[in-house]
Amino acid sequence: MNEFFSMGGYAAYVWTAYAVTAIGLAGLGLASWRRMRALESRADRLRAVRRSERGQA
């Protein structure tokens, strides 16, 4: 297990490269997901409001 983490003495390089990749992809994926959720729920709410307005008129 120790061998795995030490990466033959190159731990600093290998793990930093993987960490940068993980942070980059996870950050972008999460941000994209949250933006999609926020905008779609606002658009859906707007449509529901408009539909109910039309129903009253």
Residue 40 interacts with another protein (CB under 8 A)?
A: yes
Binders of another protein in range 1-20 (CB under 8 A): 4, 7-10, 13-14, 16-18, 20
Minimum gap (Å) between residue 55 Cβ and another protein: 17
- Within 8 A by CB and 6+ apart from 41, the residues are none
Residue 48 sits in the site that holds another protein (CB under 8 A): no
Among 28, 51, 52, 53, binds another protein (CB under 8 A): 28
What is the DSSP secondary structure assignment for residue 57, as one 8-state letter?
A: -
**Structure tokens that stand for 16 in this block:** 């930093």
